[in-house]
């Protein structure tokens, strides 16, 4: 909670971007950095400050210091946003989330909208679950869908993932797990589809008419479906995935009797890529 004091410590450092002598409000971060700002700026950009400044005050000017719970990095970002200054560097998602929480706490819709419009720039596979959580909890549908597409390579049941998943609400968790389930089901259906892979429909070698058991193809399907739990595919297939042992075994497979190549390598690889790229890419909203 914020606290008002009748005087401020002269040893406190004033932030260089907020040290105007004609400002009528002094804010102090929890790490004792001062921010001199205009009350009009705060009143017109913050519902919280607008309410506070409408209350009777014993004195005006710099004799009052408003102590806030946020540190200097958070207040710097927040105040620059509402003051029309150049946006600060927000390389750390920790800082971004802290500014977002502060903006919501002080009822500042401007910074919230700025963070919403820029949060996608922070998306990586490593922080996708965190951004997904932030977006879902605020009903940011577009951002939540985009973030969910960055979770496709993650094992949602791993300890690291569960630590973030456990912070989500029920609907967000359900949508995310449903996406991953839909992808596994679609992958199985596609790998079993003769329209993609003739091995599912032709048990006889077309050259010597020997029965083929398609061991290599069955092994590939088993490997890909098993891997879809702990090491799922992303939005596309990687070079490493297309050079995995089970894929190379299919490409090199020949009829045991006449040695005719059982599968067309180029077509098989292209269809494997198409299968992965056709899988559901993001969560759905009703």
Q: Is residue 217 part of a domain?
A: yes
Given this model, what pLDDT does residue 178 score?
Answer: 97
Query: Taking residues 54-82, what's their average pLDDT?
Result: 84
> What global pTM score does this model have?
0.86
What is the bridge-based pairing of β-strands 25-28 and 3-5? unpaired
What secondary structure does DSSP assign to 200-261, as a single string? GT--B-TTT--B---HHHHHHHHHHHHHHHHS---SS--HHHHTSHHHHHHHH-B-TTT--B
Residue 95 lies in a domain: no
30: pLDDT strictly greater than 80: yes
Report pLDDT for 5: 44
pLDDT at 60 over 70: no
pLDDT tens readout for residues 154-201:
999 999 999 999 999 999 999 999 999 999 999 999 999 999 998 898
Q: Please tell me the distance from the alpha carbon of residue 122 to that of residue 138, in angstroms, as a whole number.
A: 17
Mean pLDDT to the nearest integer, 41-54: 95
Average pLDDT for 118-139: 95
Copy the structure tokens of residue 215. 């061991």
What is the DSSP secondary structure assignment for residue 123, as one 8-state letter?
-
DSSP-derived 3-state class of residue 169? coil
- In total, how many domains does the chain have? 1
Radius of gyration of the chain (CA): 29
Residue 243 lies inside a defined structural domain of this protein = yes
Q: Which domain holds residue 222?
A: 181-278
Per-residue burial over 224-235, b = 16 or more CB atoms within 10 Å of its CB, e = otherwise = beeebeeebbbe
User: What is the pLDDT at residue 61?
Assistant: 46
Query: If we measure between CA atoms, which residue out of 175, 200, 178, 180 comes closest to residue 189?
Result: 200
What pLDDT is recorded for position 238?
Answer: 84
Residue 123 lies in a domain: no
The answer as to whether 258 is a domain residue is: yes
**Cα gap 24→236, rounded to integer Å:** 56
Q: What distance in Å separates the CA atoms of residue 262 and residue 206, rounded to the nearest whole number?
A: 9
Identify whether 14 is part of a domain: no
Cβ neighbours for 231, distance < 8 A, ≥ 6 positions apart: 153, 155
Interior/surface letters 30-63, b for 16+ CB within 10 angstroms, e for the rest: eeebbbbbeeebbbebbeebeebeeeeeeeeeee
Distance of CA 204 to the CA centre of its chain: 48
The pLDDT tens digits for 217-227 are 999 999 999 98
**Distance between CA 73 and CA 147 in Å, rounded?**
25
**Cα–Cα separations (whole angstroms), residue 111 to 87, 123, 124, 134, 169:** 10, 19, 22, 15, 24
| Residue 237 in domain | yes
Q: Give a yes or no: residue 260 inside a domain.
A: yes
Alpha carbons within 13 A on the beta-carbon side of 122: 23
pLDDT (average), residues 122-137: 96
Q: Do 120 and 146 contact (CB within 8 A), yes or no? A: yes
């Amino acid at each position: 909670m914020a606290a008002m004091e009748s005087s401020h410590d002269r040893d406190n450092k004033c932030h260089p971007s907020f040290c105007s002598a004609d400002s009528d409000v002094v804010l102090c971060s929890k790490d004792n950095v001062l921010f001199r700002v205009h009350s009009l700026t705060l009143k017109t950009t913050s519902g919280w400050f607008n309410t506070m400044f409408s209350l009777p005050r014993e004195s005006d000017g710099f004799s009052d210091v408003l102590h806030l719970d946020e540190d200097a990095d958070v207040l710097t970002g927040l105040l620059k946003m509402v003051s029309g200054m150049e946006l600060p560097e927000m390389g750390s998602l920790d800082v971004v989330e802290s500014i977002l929480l502060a903006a919501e706490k002080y009822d500042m819709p401007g910074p919230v909208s700025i963070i919403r419009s820029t949060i996608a720039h922070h998306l990586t596979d490593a922080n996708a679950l965190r951004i997904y959580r932030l977006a879902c909890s605020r009903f940011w549908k577009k951002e939540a869908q985009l973030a969910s597409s960055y979770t496709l390579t993650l094992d949602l049941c791993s300890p690291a993932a569960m630590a973030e998943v456990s912070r989500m609400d029920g609907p967000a968790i359900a949508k995310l797990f449903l996406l991953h389930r839909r992808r596994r089901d679609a992958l199985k259906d596609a790998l079993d589809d003769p329209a993609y892979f003739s091995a599912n429909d032709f048990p006889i070698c077309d050259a010597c008419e020997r029965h083929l058991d398609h061991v290599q193809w069955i092994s590939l399907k088993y490997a890909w479906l098993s891997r879809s739990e702990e090491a799922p595919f992303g939005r596309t297939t990687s070079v490493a995935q297309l050079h995995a042992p089970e894929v190379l075994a299919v490409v090199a497979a020949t009829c045991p009797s006449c040695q005719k190549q059982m599968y067309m390598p180029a077509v098989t690889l292209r269809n494997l890529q198409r299968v992965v790229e056709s899988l559901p890419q993001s969560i759905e909203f009703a």
